[in-house]
Structure 1
Amino acid sequence: MRTVDIDEAKANLSRLIDAAVQGESFIIAKAGRPVVRITPIVAPDEHFKQRLGFLAGTIRAPEDFDRIGLEEIVSLFDGQA
């Protein structure tokens, strides 16, 4: 990964951004010390985006889901295990 001094980054920001968009990450250094890493933002393909509710209607929870194991949990908290 290429390291660029902050003064060079200021002078060539547009060119560096274009390179980052093409996939070239780089580091900006101040006084020889790395400060930030510039990387392109890669958006997922439309085909692979996750969507909420994609399993709606395919999975059912039992009616007593919120009460399953209730007696055991209560006994553990009451110290009667």
Structure 2
Amino acid sequence: MDKDEYEAHQMLPDIIDIYRGVGNKSNPNGISWTTNFETAKWFANRWNKNGYVVKAKISKNNVLSYYLRRGEYEIIVDVPESKIIRI
């Protein structure tokens, strides 16, 4: 993370809603998530229209990295499978 990303990470709430776009061959339990639902929808449907979005609530303490680059609001985190719900 660069300085701006670190500062943005520090400003995150203690509990964060995160999203992951899942396509045909994607793993719903990957480590790359986003804090932006629209970004997750884009990733879910970038190759075809059969994707879906999953959501999880996580503690800020579990965030490994937070990237603002490319406007993706990418969050790197290991989410327990039991916390993931399909929306």
TM-score, shorter chain, exceeding 0.5: no
Point out the structure with the larger helix share: 1
Q: Shorter-chain TM-score: which interval? A: under 0.3
Which protein, 1 or 2, shows the higher relative CO under an 8 Å CA cutoff with sep ≥ 6? 2
Q: What TM-score do you get using the length of structure 1 for normalisation?
A: 0.26
Point out the structure with the larger strand share: 2
